[in-house]
Amino acid sequence: MSELRLELMAEAHLDDFEGLLDDPDVLRFTRLPDPPAPGFSREWYARYQAGRQDGSRQAFAAVAPDGTFLGVALAPHIDAEAREMELGYLVAPAARGRGVGTEMLRQLTAWAFAEGQALRATLLIDVANVASQVVATRAGYLLEGVLRSTYFKQGARSDVQIWSRLPTDS
Ligand SMILES: CC(C)(COP(=O)(O)OP(=O)(O)OC[C@H]1O[C@@H](n2cnc3c(N)ncnc32)[C@H](O)[C@@H]1OP(=O)(O)O)[C@@H](O)C(=O)NCCC(=O)NCCS
């Protein structure tokens, strides 16, 4: 799946993004709200648009060579002064299990280190989210530890792994 490309998230991707919000794994394992309120996608996009302007967030759509939407690759938290970024990824259910998540994270990480000039990229992954842990490992991230019973969303607490990759990692 190395031929996928990341393009800046735009209004044109919003219907596809909205389709991700029906997926139980997305609702369980990401900080997107469960259930999403009506109009959530537009609010979410506006937040990322604002973050793009002030340098605190970035969102990409992953697209196949034929234009098929494959998912989103995100930097939900960019600390420009510290040169650190939290990254994340959601693959459309129909595109899972064939390396899309791994390739998205590879490209997103390359962007974070090159254009984003990050010196540390991190991932927060639920201990039960084995597919995402496989993706992190394959994209060269190292598991640093587990944040126990950390606030996740909407009053929910989870055990969440923290993974990192540095530009100097091989
Ligand atoms: C996690 C996610 C991004 C993985 O995307 P993907 O495109 O399927 O990932 P890849 O195909 O690159 O790799 C997944 C690997 O994990 C493996 N895997 C999946 N579930 C697994 C499980 N329960 N135990 C062991 N391996 C598992 C897959 O078989 C695959 O390995 P393979 O290539 O050897 O078959 C996707 O499932 C997703 O979007 N989930 C919902 C959102 C989410 O959890 N995002 C990450 C938040 S941290």
pLDDT in tens, the chain (170 residues): 668 999 999 999 999 999 999 999 999 999 999 999 999 999 999 999 999 999 999 999 999 999 999 999 999 999 999 999 999 999 999 999 999 999 999 999 999 999 999 999 999 999 999 999 999 999 999 999 999 999 999 999 999 999 999 999 98
Instruction: Give the pTM.
Output: 0.97
Q: How far is CA 62 from CA 65, 120, 163, in A?
A: 10, 22, 22
Has residue 15 been placed in a domain? yes
CA distance readout (Å), 58 to 62, 150, 155, 169: 13, 24, 26, 23
Does the C-beta of 162 come closer than 6 Å to ligand 1?
Answer: no
Model pLDDT, residue 170: 81
Domains identified in the chain, total number:
1
Report yes or no on 170 lying in a domain: no
Q: Is residue 96 part of a domain?
A: yes
158: domain range? 5-165
Does the residue 159 lie in any domain?
Answer: yes
Residue 14 lies in a domain: yes
Q: Locate the ligand 1 atom nearest the alpha carbon of residue 91 and give its number.
A: 39
Q: For residue 70, how far is its CA from the centre of ligand 1 (angstroms)?
A: 14
Quick check: helix, strand or coil at residue 167? coil
Contact between 8 and 59 (Cβ < 8 Å) = yes
Asked, for residue 12, whether it belongs to a domain, the answer is yes
Pairing state between β 58-63 and 5-8? antiparallel
pLDDT at 63: 98
What is the structure's pLDDT at 5? 98
Place of tokens 């064939």: 98
Write the single-letter amino acid at 158: S
Which CATH number is 47's domain given?
3.40.630.30
Report the side by side order of strands in the sheet with 120-126: 5-8, 58-63, 69-79, 84-91, 120-126, 156-165, 142-153
Ligand 1 atom with the shortest distance to the CA of 25: 41
Indicate whether 131 belongs to any domain: yes
Per-residue pLDDT, 1:
63
Determine, yes or no, domain membership for 157. Answer: yes
